[in-house]
A and B are shown apart, each in its own frame.
Chain A
Amino acid sequence: MQSEPVFIVDRLNKHFGAIAASHDLSLSIMPGEIHALIGPNGAGKSTAIHQLSGELQPDSGQILFEGQDITDWSADMRARGGIARTYQITSLFPEMSVRDNLAMAIQSRDRHHFRFWSDASTDKQFNEIVERLLAQHELSEIASVLVAQLAHGQQRQVELALGLALEPRLLLLDEPMAGMSRTESLEMADRIERLRGSMAVILVEHDMDVVFRLADRISVLVKGEVICTDQPDAVRANPLVRDAYLGESG
């Protein structure tokens, strides 16, 4: 590799009682790469993502983003600093329209939220940015629909758009295809594919076809520990991985 990693996770440990959800978990993510994080159920993938996004504090270990130690940063600081995430279980603003959901993300990037007087819905410049982003994510047609009334696949699409609206330099995708139909999954995979090179992506996903198609590199997580990080073909051939993971889940 020619360049420096953008994101370094160094020996994270997280225990819940006697259970080690993360055990000396280390990762290094290169700029622009799609890095998949796979592992059997209960391997601690979601716990890992939560620690990377700042929603959960590790017991020990260090996280570096662009050379800066962000281990103690709260989730909102990390989001402002360039790390966005999406959720496995769709996490949106259900009683707002798709437009207002995106506006919420864009407003965060915009940083003028302690405005008490002017009507937010009449800010012309701001609204143009929202419309542009809606078009970019092919959401213009459903822009006025309440998110709660959308089909699951569309909600997943909004979920991704919300993360991207922050213009992150590192995007954490927690099972973006969860619950999607085959066609929807393929569309989502195309969307993620297009992100390659523009930002670093950590992808947690169960669908192995998608993982092996998208990932530049794969880290395999077993019992909270990364047992191997390599390119897809090497991971597929690795006997340790076969034992711990691929063999088990078929």
Chain B
Amino acid sequence: MRHRLISISLFLCLAVLPPIAYALDDPFWITIATRMLIYGLAAMSLDFILGYGAMVSFGHAAFFGLGAYVVGVLTHHQFYDEIIPFLPFDWTGSVSALVQWPLAMLVAGLIALVIGALSLRTQGVYFIMITLAFAQMLYFFMIGLPDYGGEDGLNLWTRSEIWGLDLSESSQFYYVVLVLVGCWFLLSSRMVKSRFGRVLIGCQQNEPRMQTLGYPVMRYKLTAFVISAMGTGLAGALAANQNEFVSPSLMAWTTSGELMVMVILGGMGTLLGPLFGAFLLLSLEEVLAGWTEHWMVILGPILVLSVLFARGGLYRFLVGKRDAK
């Protein structure tokens, strides 16, 4: 029951954050919180396979970046009224969020289908390495695309558009992100309790046994991998919107690493934990970077200590060990 209590109070706190930030005359908090939510969404999606299916993907930055680039490319073409060259039909892109965001998820999902089908044949360290390799391939592919800014990235000039809303206004954008994160959290927590989720957890605990019990294990893992990539792709699309800028650095392996750290800090296999993990990591970065430019030197030991002494992550600490599942 404490799970429900914590999740409800977290989302309530997040819901009242903008008015409080305005009241304190510090609207910058909204921007920071939006960023945390976006990364939290990506981390939560990673947790879906890492925490429940024991698939340690070190390449989720690829899906994050892909989602961002879908928004970037579509906005770019719409802005210059140019036909997108690599599509079989004539289309000059779109800035509608209802087109861009689902498409970002779709593209991330399709690429994940290919990457997953190849990577999931391996396990353990090999899986970590092969997902990393695919992400690096996409990273260098984007660097090698001068039409879309290459290494320098792409300016978007504008955010996505939803009828009736103004996403360039920070608190409206914040609420849209918050609702999406909430929906994804609900969806994921239903999924891990469903029959599909049970199979995933079974694979995590004893994959060979799942196979001799008659489960086509590969199909389940691939499905989960694709779902996870779609959530991460959506987060990427939102990140592109917030920054109004996309660049290959979104796909760099350091982004994959950050997402993984958020999951571990927050608590693997908790879904909500990675959201806390994202808050914690990004605040630490924010605070420490304010003190010294060598903030990584401080962050490193904090990570090591938290892995050593708070192994269940922040969320398990909040819920209490006994309740944690």
- Docked-complex contact A113 and B209, CB < 8 angstroms: no
- Docked-complex contact B214 and A166, CB < 8 angstroms: yes
Please give the distance in Å from B34's CB to the nearest CB on chain A.
28
Task: State whether A96 and B205 are in contact (beta carbons under 8 Å apart), knowing that A116-B191, A116-B194, A120-B193 are contacts in the complex.
Answer: yes
- Docked-complex contact B205 and A116, CB < 8 angstroms: no
Please give the distance in Å from A214's CB to the nearest CB on chain B.
23
Task: State whether A76 and B206 are in contact (beta carbons under 8 Å apart), knowing that A112-B195, A115-B196 are contacts in the complex.
Answer: no
Pick the contact of A104 from B213, B216, B217, B220 — CB < 8 Å?
B213
Q: How far is the CA of A104 from the CA of B194 in the complex (A)?
A: 12
Q: How far is the CA of A107 from the CA of B194 in the complex (A)?
A: 11
- Docked-complex contact A120 and B195, CB < 8 angstroms: yes
**A84 adjacent to chain B (CB < 8 Å):** yes
CB nearest to A168 among chain B residues? B214
- Docked-complex contact B195 and A93, CB < 8 angstroms: no
Which interface residue of A94, A95, A116, A117 has the most chain B CB atoms within 10 A? A116
Please give the distance in Å from A216's CB to the nearest CB on chain B.
25
- Docked-complex contact A76 and B209, CB < 8 angstroms: no
Sorting the interface of chain A by its residue count into under 10, 10 to 19, 20 to 34 or 35 or more gives 35 or more
**B2 adjacent to chain A (CB < 8 Å):** no
Q: How many residues of B contact A (CB 8 A)?
A: 25
Pick the contact of B195 from A79, A96, A105, A113 — CB < 8 Å?
A113
- List residues 170-193 of chain B with CB under 8 A from any CB of chain A: 190-191, 193
Q: How far is the CA of A176 from the CA of B261 in the complex (A)?
A: 43
- Docked-complex contact A94 and B205, CB < 8 angstroms: yes
- Docked-complex contact A84 and B212, CB < 8 angstroms: yes
**A13 adjacent to chain B (CB < 8 Å):** no
- Docked-complex contact B208 and A91, CB < 8 angstroms: yes
- Docked-complex contact A76 and B215, CB < 8 angstroms: yes
CB nearest to A115 among chain B residues? B195
**A190 adjacent to chain B (CB < 8 Å):** no
**B283 adjacent to chain A (CB < 8 Å):** no
**A162 adjacent to chain B (CB < 8 Å):** yes
**A53 adjacent to chain B (CB < 8 Å):** yes
**B211 adjacent to chain A (CB < 8 Å):** yes
- Docked-complex contact A75 and B196, CB < 8 angstroms: no
Q: How far is the CA of A182 from the CA of B56 in the complex (A)?
A: 43
A106-129 interface bits toward B, Cβ cutoff 8 Å, 1 = contact, 0 = none = 011100111111111100000000
Task: State whether A113 and B206 are in contact (beta carbons under 8 Å apart), knowing that A55-B211, A76-B216, A79-B214 are contacts in the complex.
Answer: no
**A92 adjacent to chain B (CB < 8 Å):** yes
- Docked-complex contact A104 and B202, CB < 8 angstroms: yes
Q: How far is the CA of A190 from the CA of B196 in the complex (A)?
A: 36
Chain A neighbourhood of B214, CB < 8 A? 76, 79-80, 108-109, 166
Pick the contact of B213 from A74, A108, A116, A117 — CB < 8 Å?
A108
Q: How far is the CA of A245 from the CA of B323 in the complex (A)?
A: 54
Please give the distance in Å from A145's CB to the nearest CB on chain B.
16
Chain A neighbourhood of B212, CB < 8 A? 53-55, 75-76, 79, 84-85
Chain A neighbourhood of B195, CB < 8 A? 107, 112-115, 118, 120
- List residues 22-66 of chain B with CB under 8 A from any CB of chain A: none
A135-172 interface bits toward B, Cβ cutoff 8 Å, 1 = contact, 0 = none = 00000000000000000000000000010001000000
Chain A neighbourhood of B215, CB < 8 A? 76, 108, 113
Please give the distance in Å from B155's CB to the nearest CB on chain A.
38
Chain A neighbourhood of B109, CB < 8 A? none
Q: How far is the CA of A80 from the CA of B196 in the complex (A)?
A: 17
Chain B neighbourhood of A112, CB < 8 A? 195
- Docked-complex contact B193 and A92, CB < 8 angstroms: no
- Docked-complex contact B190 and A116, CB < 8 angstroms: yes
**B199 adjacent to chain A (CB < 8 Å):** yes
Chain B neighbourhood of A119, CB < 8 A? 190, 193-194
- Docked-complex contact A76 and B208, CB < 8 angstroms: no
Please give the distance in Å from A164's CB to the nearest CB on chain B.
12
- Docked-complex contact A79 and B194, CB < 8 angstroms: no
- Docked-complex contact B193 and A121, CB < 8 angstroms: yes
CB nearest to A87 among chain B residues? B209
Q: How far is the CA of A80 from the CA of B212 in the complex (A)?
A: 9
Q: How far is the CA of A23 from the CA of B208 in the complex (A)?
A: 26
Q: How far is the CA of A117 from the CA of B209 in the complex (A)?
A: 25
Task: State whether A116 and B196 are in contact (beta carbons under 8 Å apart), knowing that A76-B212, A92-B209 are contacts in the complex.
Answer: yes
Pick the contact of A79 from B201, B206, B211 — CB < 8 Å?
B211
Chain B neighbourhood of A96, CB < 8 A? 201, 205
B277-321 interface bits toward A, Cβ cutoff 8 Å, 1 = contact, 0 = none = 000000000000000000000000000000000000000000000
- Docked-complex contact B202 and A120, CB < 8 angstroms: no
- Docked-complex contact A166 and B193, CB < 8 angstroms: no
Give me 5 other A-B pairs in contact (C-beta within 8 A), A75-B212, A116-B190, A117-B194 excluded: A55-B212, A76-B211, A76-B212, A93-B202, A113-B196
Q: Which residues of A contact B (CB under 8 A)?
A: 53-55, 74-77, 79-80, 84-85, 87, 91-96, 100, 103-105, 107-109, 112-121, 162, 166
Q: Which residues of B contact A (CB under 8 A)?
A: 190-191, 193-199, 201-202, 205-206, 208-217, 220, 223
A-B contact pairs, 9 of them (CB 8 A): A76-B213, A85-B212, A91-B208, A113-B195, A113-B199, A114-B195, A115-B195, A118-B194, A119-B190
Leading 8 A-B pairs by shortest Cβ distance: A79-B214, A80-B214, A108-B214, A93-B205, A115-B195, A120-B195, A108-B213, A75-B211
